[in-house]
Amino acid sequence: MQFSKRLELFGDEIFAALNNKRIQLEQQGKKIYNMSVGTPDFHTPDYIKEALIEAAKEDSSWRYSLRDLPELLDAVCAYYQKRFQVSITPDMVMSVYGSQEGMGHLGMALCDEGDIVLLPDPCYPVFAAGSKLGGATPYYYPLVAEHDFLPYVNGIPENIAQKAKYMVVSLPSNPVGSIATPGLYEEIVAFAKKYNILIIHDNAYSDIIFDGVYGGSFLATPGAKEVGVEFFSLSKSFNVTGARLSFLIGNPQVIAALRKLRSQIDFGMFLPLQKAAIAALTGPLDNVTEQCRMYQERRDALCNGLHEIGWEMPNGKGTMFVWARIPGGRMDSMAFCMELMEKAGVIVTPGSSFGPHGEGYVRFALVLPPEKIREAVEAIRISGI
């Protein structure tokens, strides 16, 4: 059977290879510390579960939803005003089944064959997948230590900027853990206006920023709502990753374009999930704040521990991930990850899976409590790797 050439755009799924190796080692009795996949291990608030359960009891909830409930759109607008001091209207909001799905479809709604899009390198793989599904050609702008792993628009060639359809920005950044610095978003908005480029901001981790820094929204920047949209996710803040509760927010024309595409693909978000999202958006945020503090404890345990055993201090300013340079200047991140798993039982993700500039690094996910993280660091130390 012949399949679409589109599948040839994508490589093998790295997490499948790591998982197969994990199963093999566990069968041999090896103790494993899995810090590869960013699946939160914290508790989902009861009020969110109860909202979903109560909605699921209603027969009418099991029909096609066909649209986002008006009360859901109003809840997003109210949340953005309360949380980010950003004023938006319902025509600037739509639900998506997770930012990953939304990013994948947005490229199809925006791009034609041969369009150029600007993507960070390293970046979360779906950024590239979404643009390729739309027929676009990615141009990767590097996130490097010299610029604190932040977008540097002055480094993008003018001939590329003049042709670009959109630019993806992800802050706080998965995988590199960087956060927006004062004035950065203003530079990006000015760049977008100069070259007529749409900005797509991935804002999945605004509630996981450390050391007392405020996590905001790109849309709070003057002019951002005219030149950009933002993916906003409840997954990591409220531990609802499997429910896929996310939104695209911003420029109404872009929202309408993706909504038109989505209308041809599905029948809308399951109504009990919409009710759960409303409960999250209108409920208390005490758990979110406390959870950020607990993530920082994990970050400190990992970064300080690795530094003490001779690693360069990792980059961990935000997100539930830490970006660490491989010791000894090694530039074989996949081989290093396999060796680390075999010798220490610690599973991390090779930086090369996030793009060429990820080579020489690995990504740790903060999905273990501090005491387990310290055990993992000690296992790395004992392994001698």
For residues 27 and 85, membership in a common domain is answered with: no
CATH assignment at residue 347 = 3.90.1150.10
Which pLDDT score is estimated for 178? 97
Domain count, the chain: 2
For residues 351 and 202, membership in a common domain is answered with: no
For residues 295 and 248, membership in a common domain is answered with: no
Distance CA 380, CA 371 (A): 14
For residues 157 and 257, membership in a common domain is answered with: yes
Domain boundary among 224, 254, 282: 282
For residues 25 and 53, membership in a common domain is answered with: no
For residues 95 and 135, membership in a common domain is answered with: yes
For residues 51 and 120, membership in a common domain is answered with: yes
Domain boundary among 234, 264, 282: 282
Would you write out the chain's pLDDT as a tens digit for each of its 385 residues? Answer: 888 888 777 766 677 777 777 788 777 888 999 998 888 999 999 999 999 999 999 999 999 999 999 999 999 999 999 999 999 999 999 999 999 899 999 999 999 999 999 999 999 988 998 899 999 999 999 999 999 999 999 999 999 999 999 999 999 999 999 999 999 999 999 999 999 999 999 999 999 999 999 999 999 999 999 999 999 999 999 999 999 999 999 999 999 999 999 999 889 999 999 999 999 999 999 999 999 999 999 999 999 999 999 999 999 999 999 999 999 999 999 999 999 999 999 999 999 999 999 999 999 999 999 999 999 999 999 999 8
- Write the secondary structure of 193-242 as one string of H (helix), E (strand) and C (coil): HHHCCEEEEEECCCCCECCCCCCCCHHHCCCHHHHEEEEEECHHHHCCHH
If we measure between CA atoms, which residue out of 375, 376, 371, 370 comes closest to residue 362? Answer: 376
For residues 110 and 247, membership in a common domain is answered with: yes
The values of phi and psi at residue 208, to 5°, are -125, 75
For residues 262 and 226, membership in a common domain is answered with: yes
| 227, amino acid identity | V
Domain boundary among 282, 307, 339: 282
Exposure of 352 by Cβ count < 10 A (0-12 exposed, 13-18 middle, 19+ buried)?
buried
For residues 26 and 53, membership in a common domain is answered with: no
Residue 330 belongs to what domain range? 5-43+286-383
CA distances from residue 228 to 23, 65, 122, 188, 250 in whole angstroms, order as listed: 43, 28, 21, 10, 6
If we measure between CA atoms, which residue out of 385, 274, 384, 380 comes closest to residue 31? Answer: 380
**pTM metric for this prediction:** 0.94
CATH assignment at residue 222 = 3.40.640.10
For residues 364 and 261, membership in a common domain is answered with: no
For residues 216 and 83, membership in a common domain is answered with: yes
